[in-house]
């Protein structure tokens, strides 16, 4: 007695192949839909904004008149913001990840902490804005400065950096750690010479993605009261400033029709900013990967 | 041949040539009692093989000798292991110090994802040797010591991962020699290798015996018989028998040893 009836298998074959084709088509259209939406968005922003991307656009401060409006304060402000957010969040984030993965004893407390860091990554950004407003702006009297906004944004992206770094560190095989310990290396030597070099591409990818998020976030900036129209550049860490997404948000909600084009130009600048950051990340990543 | 040491209980033996003196060692993984009342004396410039079926505690024991077993968080130990007359569990005995004297070769070749040169120089570097000339000499000496110099001397700066499994394992042995240890622990060093590579590693162990004391865990009884001077048979976390290898393999005292060696179980 045979259990597989080859005649009926052949009969059903057409049917199975058709179902296969249908699902292939569904997945293809899902991809196409996302790509198409993105392409339309790009097309509209570029056609609307390109006309405003003049040298003056980068040299002027904000203005009530669309033709005179510029992005200088916001662009420089965002760069200042990154100079605070990048070191603070990467040092704290990678440090935390190293501690949790390499040093901390594996017990319920560390499991609890780990789980909650992942949960923190899902907290809405406006909540972090409120936290920043309470702690940095008010309690520490930093005002709506570069430093206060930078710390707030760092808190916002810390969980993402920690989780990404933890995963990158965990992906380093245990046997090379053992080899290092087996030769009398300390934990620190093992972390610096063995674990981090292998983990750095992963850590950097996570860090840059997180920083990109910080560049684009608007809600926390609104909550901590970052002004929009500013006629000067930041002079120091405690100086007032504005940032790209704030500026774009402001332009986009203005009644004059021409400001929509200015906003599109602002979005283009923001996208180029992100592209540059990602290229730097890829560059650093390749440089590190080549060593091994 | 040296006289047989029955379970190491005879403390009147000449202690100067004893590298490791294990006394009443017990070890638990959480609630699992993995090593029970181990007493073993291991002599210098000998190859001591540890055999036994899977899960008998032989790997655990060898990893206890350089305290690598403590990487498992739930491990508890009692008893003493005297390495050169000093208890390795003493609070003031740092594991880093112990592990510079006791090198380890692992079951799976585990070179670092670095060049061959950097793999060998890793140990000396972490112990503070920076001089390029000295490092060069250490690298050559270690690679020669591991009988792989001729195969890799022209490509010292290529990645160690580009080598075959057998070559990688000899790189790991060379890496271990680079810190000039006193004892080399080998945890089934040939189990991931093909027969030819295995033969090379076995020949190497015979040569290394002149300068080092070697403790090797092996699943392969023929290997134990071929390369070791002493053999300890572990079963369920206990040392069933410890004697000269030729005695263990010809006239074992314990019925269980005889059964294991003749392939009746395990």
Q: Which residue of B has its CA nearest to A289?
A: B113
Q: Do B110 and A173 touch (CB under 8 A)?
A: yes
Please give the pLDDT value at position A98. Answer: 95
Among B71, B74, B98, B113, pick the best mutation site for testing chain A contact (most A Cβ within 10 A).
Answer: B113
| pLDDT at B110 > cutoff 80 | yes
Query: CA A246, A250, A256: angle at the middle one, nearest 5?
Result: 160
Residue A189: other Cβ atoms inside 10 A: 18
Would an 8 Å CB–CB cutoff place A198 in contact with chain B? yes
For residues B98-104, average pLDDT: 93
Give chain A positions within 8 Å (CB) of B110.
173, 175-176, 178-179
Residue extents of the structural domains in chain A: 6-52, 57-290
User: Which A positions 119-178 lie with beta carbon below 8 A of chain B?
Assistant: 173, 175-176, 178
Residues from chain A contacting residue B175 (CB–CB below 8 Å) = 179, 183
Q: How many CA atoms lie within 13 A of A99 on its CB side?
A: 10
What are the chain B neighbours of A183 within 8 Å (beta carbons)?
99-100, 103, 122-123, 126, 175-176, 179
* Average pLDDT value for chain A: 89
Query: Number of structural domains, chain B?
Result: 1
- Show the DSSP H helices in B29-164 as ranges: 58-65, 95-101, 116-126, 132-145, 149-152
Q: Is residue B36 part of a domain?
A: no
Please report, for residues A262, B121, B212, the alpha-carbon distance to residue B135 in angstroms, rounded to integers and kept in the order given.
Answer: 62, 6, 21
Q: Give yes or no for residue A292 having a pLDDT over 80.
A: no
Contact between B96 and A180 using a beta-carbon 8 Å cutoff:
no
- Give per-residue pLDDT as tens, B115-155: 999 999 999 999 999 999 999 999 999 999 888 999 999 99
Instruction: Identify the helix (H) or strand (E) that includes residue B50.
Output: strand B47-51
Q: Does A193 touch chain B (CB under 8 A)?
A: yes
Q: What is the CATH number of the domain that holds B250?
A: 3.40.50.300
What pLDDT is attached to residue B266? 54
Segment A17-43 shows an average pLDDT of: 95
Are B53 and B260 in contact, with CB atoms under 8 Å apart? yes
Is the model's pLDDT at B4 over the cut of 70?
no
Cβ atoms within 10 Å, residue A279: 11
What mean pLDDT comes out for the span A4-11? 85
**Is the entire prediction scored with pTM above 0.90?**
no
Do A182 and B104 lie within an 8 Å CB cutoff?
A: yes
Contacts of B100 in chain A (CB under 8 A): 183-184
Nearest residue of A to residue B112, measured between CA atoms: A176
Helix (H) / strand (E) element for B6: namely none
Q: Which residues of A touch B112 (CB under 8 A)?
A: 176, 179-180, 194
* pLDDT tens per residue, range B6-32: 444 444 445 568 999 999 999 999 999
Across the interface, whether the CB atoms of B96 and A184 are under 8 A apart is answered yes
Domain that holds residue B111: 46-66+95-261
Q: Residue B180 domain-assigned? A: yes
> Is the predicted pLDDT of residue A162 greater than 70, yes or no?
yes
A182 vs B106: CB contact, 8 Å cut-off? yes
Distance from CA of B259 to the nearest CA of A (A): 34
Q: Which structure tokens are listed for B72? A: 């498992």
Q: Is the model more confident about B162 or about A283? A: B162
Identify which of A105, A189, A197 has the shortest CB distance to residue B126.
A189
Whole-number pLDDT of residue A256:
87
Please give the ipTM for the structure prediction: 0.86
Confidence at residue A97, expressed as pLDDT on a 0 to 100 scale: 95
Which positions in chain A touch B66 (Cβ < 8 Å)? 182
Q: Would you call B114 an interface residue with chain A, using a CB distance cutoff of 8 Å?
A: yes
When the candidates are 2.30.30.140, 1.10.3720.10, 1.10.3210.10, 3.20.20.80, the CATH number that belongs to A57-290 is 1.10.3720.10
For the segment B63-79, the average pLDDT, to the nearest whole number, is 91
């Amino acid at each position: 007695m045979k259990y597989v009836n080859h005649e009926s298998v052949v009969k059903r074959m057409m049917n199975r192949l058709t179902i296969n084709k249908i699902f292939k088509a569904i997945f293809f259209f899902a991809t196409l839909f996302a790509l198409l939406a993105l392409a339309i968005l790009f097309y509209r922003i570029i056609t609307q904004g390109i006309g405003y991307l003049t040298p003056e656009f980068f040299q002027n401060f904000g203005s009530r008149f669309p033709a005179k409006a510029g992005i200088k304060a916001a662009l420089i402000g965002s760069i200042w913001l990154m100079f605070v957010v990048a070191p603070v969040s990467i040092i704290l984030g990678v440090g935390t990840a190293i501690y949790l993965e390499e040093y901390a004893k594996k017990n319920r407390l560390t499991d609890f902490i780990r789980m909650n860091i992942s949960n923190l990554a899902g907290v809405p950004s406006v909540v972090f804005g409120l936290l920043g407003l309470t702690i940095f702006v008010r309690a520490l009297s930093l005002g709506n400065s570069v430093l206060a906004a930078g710390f707030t944004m760092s808190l916002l992206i810390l969980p993402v950096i920690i989780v990404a770094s933890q995963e990158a560190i965990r992906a380093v095989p245990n046997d090379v750690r053992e080899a290092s310990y087996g030769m009398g290396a300390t934990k620190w030597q093992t972390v610096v010479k063995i674990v981090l070099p292998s983990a750095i591409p992963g850590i950097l990818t996570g860090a840059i993605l997180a920083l990109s998020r910080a560049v684009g976030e608007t809600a926390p900036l609104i909550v901590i009261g970052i002004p929009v129209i500013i006629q000067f550049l930041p002079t120091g860490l405690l100086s007032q400033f504005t940032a790209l997404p704030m500026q774009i948000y402001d332009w986009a909600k203005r009644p004059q029709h021409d400001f929509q084009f200015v906003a599109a130009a602002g979005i283009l600048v923001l996208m180029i900013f992100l592209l540059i950051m990602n290229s730097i990340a890829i560059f650093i990543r390749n440089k590190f990967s080549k060593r091994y | 041949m040296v006289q047989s040491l029955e379970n190491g209980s005879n403390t009147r033996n000449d202690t100067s040539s004893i590298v490791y003196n294990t006394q009443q060692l017990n070890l638990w993984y959480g609630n699992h009692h993995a090593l029970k009342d181990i007493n073993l004396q291991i002599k210098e410039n000998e190859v001591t093989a540890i055999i036994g079926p899977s899960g008998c505690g032989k790997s655990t024991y060898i990893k206890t000798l350089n305290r690598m077993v403590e990487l498992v968080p739930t491990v508890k130990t009692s008893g003493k292991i005297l390495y050169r007359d000093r208890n390795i569990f003493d609070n003031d005995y740092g594991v880093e110090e112990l592990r510079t004297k006791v090198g380890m070769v692992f079951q799976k070749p585990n070179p670092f994802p670095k060049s061959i040169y950097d793999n060998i120089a890793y140990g000396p570097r972490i112990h503070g040797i920076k001089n390029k000339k000295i490092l060069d000499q250490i690298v050559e000496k270690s690679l020669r010591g591991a009988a792989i110099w001729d195969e890799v001397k022209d490509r010292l700066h290529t990645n160690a991962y580009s080598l075959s499994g057998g070559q990688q394992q000899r790189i790991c042995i060379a890496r271990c020699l680079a810190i000039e240890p006193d004892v080399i622990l080998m945890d089934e060093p040939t189990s991931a290798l093909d027969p030819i590579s295995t033969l090379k590693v076995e020949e190497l162990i015979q040569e290394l015996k002149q300068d080092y004391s070697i403790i090797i865990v092996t699943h392969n009884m023929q290997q134990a018989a071929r390369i070791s001077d002493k053999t300890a048979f572990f079963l369920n976390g206990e040392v069933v028998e410890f004697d000269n290898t030729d005695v263990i393999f010809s006239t074992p005292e314990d019925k269980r040893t005889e059964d294991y060696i003749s392939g009746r179980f395990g």
